[in-house]
Amino acid sequence: MTAPHAAAPLGTGEDARHAWLDWLAGERRAARLTVAAYGADLAGFLGFLSRHLGGEANLAALAALRPADFRAWLAQRHADGLTAASRARELAAVRSFFRFLSRRHGVDNPAVRLIATPRATPPAPRALSEPDAAAVAAEIGEAADSAALAARDIALFTLLYGCGLRIAEALSLDVRDAPPPGGSEPLRVLGKGGKERLVPVLPAVRTALAAWLRFHPDRRPEAPLFLGARGGRLNPGVAQKVMRDFRRARLLPEHATPHALRHSFATHLLGAGADLRAIQDLLGHASLSTTQRYTAVDEAALLRVWRAAHPRAE
């Protein structure tokens, strides 16, 4: 067996950077733009270390870096305005560099493996205005090809807005699951992870579902509640197209999707003063932190509720 080629000795962090870039381009055959981007990322990291450590980093200094040093660098990049995605890319470059040093030059620093990858904060949910959401629920059947399809579409989108369901949850319902008109029974919903929850059903939702069931061609309990044109369970893509066509016809915003009705359900409840934990239960969120994203949607409305309810608000 041929002995592995001994790596040339390195003096400074900059020497190591050039050796790493040569390895990326030569042995790993990385694209030219990738090599350039990684080289710039690592140059920025080494420049930070020069300021942070008070001098140019050599191999001994690189091996001695602590988790706090890496976190200080990421904090500085955050202060520079870099997004989480950009910081994650730079951290990936630094990790690759240290793997190279460990494998080719015996310079191992386990601290870099302890640093969590920056994650982007999910954007705040985008809800429809109350008039727009109400218009979707009440009028989306106007362009349907038949009275039956109009009743189906109104029932589906009234259910999405009135109960805050995910589109997959609504389309998985069977005829047996439909709450009877005039009753008070909650809707049993099977959510993510097979977790079941109970959702109260507004009279408007019961009425819309009852109107659709009068057209439903298959009243067996196990039959799908929402049917497609060929009699099978309605496809989510068809529901999304119905919403897309209605959105364009009524000049609604581009974020008006079936899922936006779920966001609207939560946002409008929160704006009316509903308890955040109650909204969590209604939406079926496993974590309250997921539900808390809605507090950023309408902070002004939340402040009005606080002023009206808190005894010391005056």
pLDDT of residue 307: 72
Judge whether 13-114 and 130-309 match in fold.
no
- What does the DSSP assignment read for 196-234? EEEE---HHHHHHHHHHHTT-S---TTSBSSB-TTSSBP
pLDDT of residue 208: 95
% of the chain residues with pLDDT over 90: 64
Q: Is the pLDDT of residue 8 over 70?
A: no
pLDDT of residue 80: 93
Q: Is the pLDDT of residue 7 over 70?
A: no
Q: Which amino acid appears at position 100 of this protein?
A: F
Contacts of residue 96, Cβ cutoff 8 Å, sequence gap at least 6: 20, 24, 38
Q: Catalytic residue at 214?
A: no
pLDDT of residue 3: 38
Active-site choice (152, 206, 259, 268): 259
Q: Is the pLDDT of residue 284 over 50?
A: yes
Active-site choice (105, 206, 263, 285): 285
Active-site choice (166, 216, 263, 268): 166
pLDDT tens string 227-239: 998 889 999 999 9
Report which secondary-structure segment, H or E, holds 188: strand 187-190
What are the residue boundaries of the structural domains of the chain, listed by start? 13-114, 130-309
- CATH of 13-114, picked from 1.20.120.530, 3.30.450.90, 3.30.200.20, 1.10.150.130, is 1.10.150.130
Q: Is the pLDDT of residue 247 over 70?
A: yes
The pTM assigned to this predicted structure is 0.61
Q: Is the pLDDT of residue 300 over 90?
A: no
Contacts of residue 290, Cβ cutoff 8 Å, sequence gap at least 6: 280
- CATH superfamily, domain 130-309, is Intergrase catalytic core (1.10.443.10)
Active-site choice (216, 262, 263, 268): 262
Q: Which of 281, 124, 276 is nearest to 199 (CA)?
A: 281
Token pair recorded at residue 167:
């589109």
pLDDT tens string 27-82: 989 899 999 999 999 999 999 999 999 999 999 999 999 999 999 999 999 999 99
Contacts of residue 24, Cβ cutoff 8 Å, sequence gap at least 6: 30, 34, 35, 38, 96
Q: Catalytic residue at 263?
A: no
Active-site choice (192, 195, 248, 277): 192
Q: Catalytic residue at 294?
A: yes
Mean pLDDT of 291-311: 66
Q: Which amino acid appears at position 51 of this protein?
A: R
Mean pLDDT of 285-312: 69
pLDDT tens string 103-151: 998 999 999 999 999 887 666 678 899 999 999 999 998 888 899 999 9
Q: Catalytic residue at 38?
A: no
pLDDT of residue 5: 41
pLDDT tens string 252-277: 999 999 999 999 999 889 888 888 88
298-307 contacts at long range (C-beta below 8 A, 24 or more positions apart): 298/267, 298/270, 298/271, 301/270, 301/271, 302/270, 302/271, 305/271, 305/272, 305/273
